[in-house]
Structure 1
Amino acid sequence: MSNEWIGTLGVVVLLALLLLRIPVAFAIFGVGFVGVSILASPMNALNLLASETYTVVSNAELVVIPLFILMGNIATETGMSRKLYDAAYAMIGSIKGGLASATVVGCAGFSALCGSSVASALTMGRVSIGEMERFKYSGRLSTGAVAAGGTLGILIPPSTGFVVYAILTQQSIGKLFLAGVIPGLVLTALFVLMITGLTWLKPELAPQGPKTTWAEKARGLTGAIPITVVILLTIGGIYSGIFSPVEAAAVGAGLVVLYGLFTRSLTPSALWRSTRGAVITTTTVMLILIAAHMLNPFLALSHIPTAVGEFLTGLNVGPYGILLLILLTYLVLGCFLEGFAMLVLTMPIFFPVIVGLGFDPIWFGVLVVLTLEMGLISPPVGINVFIVKSVAPNVPLGDIFLGVAPFWLMMVLAILLFVMFPQLVLFLPNTMIT
């Protein structure tokens, strides 16, 4: 059997293991280790295991993962996420569909603290769905807004997805973080426009919200000041060159801890829960990255990336046609696979093609992460949909999927915008001070 056939068989086995819900890291590691053992030797596989594990865990840039996750966890425990929603609610909650729009804006703000789509959907779902039920919002609109708004967590920095992409492709974490800012704001605006349009066409979806006084607006905005300061210092510090991503993560985590201590909202038990959650998530990501460093040599030995690259470039559909095929592949895989698994599996195959075509790797990273977001609300897996279902058990699962459909179309529109106008993605990273 040729190396190419062995590589193809390995990819098929890996996909089967992932579809069977074998833990991502174990599935990737098992296929990579066995594949290298077959194509090289068991001793080479063992040597790779030792050397690549050390390479991953000694990478200082990966410190951003536990620090930013800790920052988001503490922000949740200290009520900072609730204050974000309250501020958005006070400003736009009184307009038609305002509670749903406030939820999306709150998700965007919270995403800038936690970098996790699941955490954003879960936290904002707990805060907002009860309010929307109280004001007789359509179950489809309320749950759809939460599930879609939660996807902003993987696009708006700090994003764990960008960190993994950066490590797999040797790109700058800081530039990727900044590249996600404008697309995240654009997507947030598109979601709010969609809610406004839906409620204008179908007024029964959402009633007019309660009016808020200027004093209530001022109180809501005042409560969001600490969160705004943390976001501006971390992202602004990276952009201005004052902080590296690691330093920005440390500053952000330190500030939310100080906020929790100052307001006496960070109890010992809350600190324990936050730290424990950060450790668990970090361990999961690190295991996946170690496994990726076992899979990549297997794919290289099998010549699969070269074969796929030659196939795509031989289709004569042009660079943007190839880009479309790659994004469609991510879209299909996202219906069944977890995002990190897709990155690990596909980057060694698709990234050389993208670089060979002359596309900017930072720009491509944003497109990939945005496409991965779409998988979070696509059936049948759609993990954000199931997260929202756990918060709103009375809304049928089918209704939630129908509720996210308009937002899914807005994400398609966003991808088209970023392909047509790449400067929306590249302006901030190209002007950052290094």
Structure 2
Amino acid sequence: MTPFALGLWGMAALFLLLAFRVPVALSMFAVGFVGQSLLNSPAAALSNLAADSFTLASMGELVVVPLFILMGNVATETGMSRRLYDAAYALIGRVRGGLASATVIGCGGFAALSGSSVASALTMGKVSLAQMDRFGYDPRLSTGVVAAGGTLGILIPPSTGFVIYAILAQESIGRLFLAGVLPGLLLLTMFCLTVWVQCRLNPALGPAGPETTWAEKRRAIFGAAPIVGIILLTIGGIYGGFFSPVEASAVGAGFVIILGLISRTLSLRAFWEATKSSVVTTATVMLILIGAYMLIPFLALSRIPTELGMFLAGLDLPTVGILLLMLAAYLVMGCFLEGFAMLVLSMPIFFPIVQQLGIDPIWFGVLVVLTLEMGLISPPVGVNVFIVKSVAPKVPLGTIFRGVAPFWLAMLLTLLILVAFPAITLILPNSMIG
């Protein structure tokens, strides 16, 4: 059997394992280890396992993962994330669809704390769904906006998606964080416009909320000011060149903990729960990365990336055409695979093609992360949809999927805008980091 044929059998085995719900990390590890053993030797596979595990464990850049996750978890336990929503609600809640737009803004703010889409959807779902239900919002809009708004967690920095992409592509985490700012704000704006258009066409979807007084607005803004200040300190520190991403994660987590202690909202029990959740999430990310590092050499030995690159080159398409084909493949995979799994599975295959075509890897990274977001609300997997379902068990799953459809289209439009105008993505990293 040729190496290429063995590689195809290996990928088929990998998808079969995933279909039987074997954890992603274990599936990639098994296929990568067996594949390396067959194409090279068991000794080489064991050597790669030991070396890659040690290399990953000693990567200082990965410290941002547990610290930013801890920052978001502490903010959730202490109620800081709710204050972001309360401030947005006080400012725009009275307009038609204002509560849904406030949820989008709250998701964007929480994204700048946690870097996790699942955490954003879960937290904002608990905070906002009951409120929207109380004021008569259609469940299709309320659940759809929470599921879609939660996806901002892996685009607006700090983003665990960018960290994993940076590790796999050996790119700068700081440049990727900078590149995600304007696309993240663009997507947030598109979501708010989507809410406005839906409520304009069908006013019953999002009735106007109660008007708040100036005193209530000031109190809500004042309550959110400390956590907004921490966001500006950490992210602004990276953009201003005062902190590296690793240092910023430590500063952000430290200040959130201090703020929780000063305000007496962070108990020992809450801190334990936040820490435990952060450890579990970090361990999951590390296992996925180790599995990816076992799979990458197997794919290289099988020549699948090389053969695919030659096939695409033979299509005689322009660079943008090949880029759109790769993004279309991501959109299809997003219907069946979890986001991080899709990223670590595809990068060894697609990234060599990106390098061969001279596509900017930072630009490509933002486009890929945006397609990962689209997968989070795409049927039948749609992780964020199931997260919202767990918060709103009485709402049928079909209703939630219909609710996210307009936001999925808004994401597709945003993706096409970013493909057509790369400067939106690259202007900040190119101007702030040489």
Q: TM-score, normalised by structure 1?
A: 0.99
> Could you tell me which residue of structure 2 aligns to residue 185 of structure 1?
185
Alignment of 1:175-214 (within 5 A): 175-214=175-214
Alignment of 1:300-379 (within 5 A): 300-379=300-379
> Could you tell me which residue of structure 1 aligns to residue 160 of structure 2?
160
Q: Which amino acid aligns with 1:202?
A: N
Q: Which amino acid aligns with 2:154?
A: I
- Worse overlay, 89-98 or 420-429: 420-429
- The answer as to whether partners of 1:61 and 1:246 remain within 8 angstroms in 2 is yes
- The answer as to whether partners of 1:19 and 1:337 remain within 8 angstroms in 2 is no
Q: For 1:299-358, what per-residue CA distance to the aligned partner results, in whole angstroms no more than 9, with x for missing partners?
A: 111111100101111111211111111011111111111111111111111011112111
Alignment of 1:137-148 (within 5 A): 137-148=137-148
Alignment of 1:112-127 (within 5 A): 112-127=112-127
Rounded to whole Å, the distance in 2 between the matches of 1:210 and 1:165 is 43
Rounded to whole Å, the distance in 2 between the matches of 1:264 and 1:85 is 20
> Could you tell me which residue of structure 1 aligns to residue 410 of structure 2?
410
TM-superposed deviation, 1:55: 0.7
- Worse overlay, 313-322 or 182-191: 313-322
Q: 3-state SS of the aligned residue for 1:253?
A: helix
The runs of 5 or more residues in structure 2 that have no matched partner are none
Q: Which amino acid aligns with 1:236?
A: G
Rounded to whole Å, the distance in 1 between the matches of 2:32 and 2:303 is 14
Q: 3-state SS of the aligned residue for 1:326?
A: helix
Rounded to whole Å, the distance in 1 between the matches of 2:220 and 2:25 is 43
The answer as to 2:101 corresponding to 1:104 is no
TM-superposed deviation, 1:254: 0.3
Rounded to whole Å, the distance in 1 between the matches of 2:427 and 2:5 is 43
Rounded to whole Å, the distance in 2 between the matches of 1:10 and 1:71 is 39
Alignment of 1:21-420 (within 5 A): 21-420=21-420
- The Cα RMSD (Å) is 0.8
Q: For 1:118-148, what per-residue CA distance to the aligned partner results, in whole angstroms no more than 9, with x for missing partners?
A: 0000000000000111111001000000000
TM-superposed deviation, 1:291: 1.1
- The answer as to whether partners of 1:69 and 1:114 remain within 8 angstroms in 2 is yes
TM-superposed deviation, 1:231: 1.1
Rounded to whole Å, the distance in 2 between the matches of 1:248 and 1:423 is 26
Q: Which amino acid aligns with 2:258?
A: L
The number of residue pairs the alignment matches comes to 434
Rounded to whole Å, the distance in 2 between the matches of 1:4 and 1:49 is 22
- The answer as to whether partners of 1:240 and 1:433 remain within 8 angstroms in 2 is no
Q: 3-state SS of the aligned residue for 1:275?
A: helix
Q: Which amino acid aligns with 2:272?
A: W
Rounded to whole Å, the distance in 2 between the matches of 1:433 and 1:243 is 13
Structure 1 runs of 4+ off > 4 angstroms? none
- The answer as to whether partners of 2:175 and 2:433 remain within 8 angstroms in 1 is no
TM-superposed deviation, 1:433: 4.4
- The answer as to whether partners of 1:178 and 1:235 remain within 8 angstroms in 2 is no
Rounded to whole Å, the distance in 2 between the matches of 1:345 and 1:391 is 30
Rounded to whole Å, the distance in 1 between the matches of 2:401 and 2:285 is 28
- The answer as to whether partners of 1:105 and 1:188 remain within 8 angstroms in 2 is yes
Q: 3-state SS of the aligned residue for 2:393?
A: coil
Q: 3-state SS of the aligned residue for 1:224?
A: helix
- The answer as to whether partners of 2:84 and 2:224 remain within 8 angstroms in 1 is yes
Q: 3-state SS of the aligned residue for 2:90?
A: helix
Rounded to whole Å, the distance in 2 between the matches of 1:363 and 1:133 is 39
- The answer as to whether partners of 2:6 and 2:302 remain within 8 angstroms in 1 is yes
State the identity as a percent: 67
- The answer as to whether partners of 2:77 and 2:270 remain within 8 angstroms in 1 is yes
- Worse overlay, 71-80 or 211-220: 211-220
TM-superposed deviation, 1:19: 2.0
Q: TM-score, normalised by structure 2?
A: 0.99
TM-superposed deviation, 1:75: 0.4
Q: Which amino acid aligns with 2:211?
A: K
Q: Which amino acid aligns with 2:73?
A: N
- The answer as to whether partners of 1:137 and 1:205 remain within 8 angstroms in 2 is yes
Q: For 1:66-97, what per-residue CA distance to the aligned partner results, in whole angstroms no more than 9, with x for missing partners?
A: 00000000000111100000000000000000
TM-superposed deviation, 1:403: 0.2
Rounded to whole Å, the distance in 2 between the matches of 1:411 and 1:20 is 30
- The answer as to whether partners of 1:39 and 1:301 remain within 8 angstroms in 2 is yes
Q: 3-state SS of the aligned residue for 1:243?
A: coil
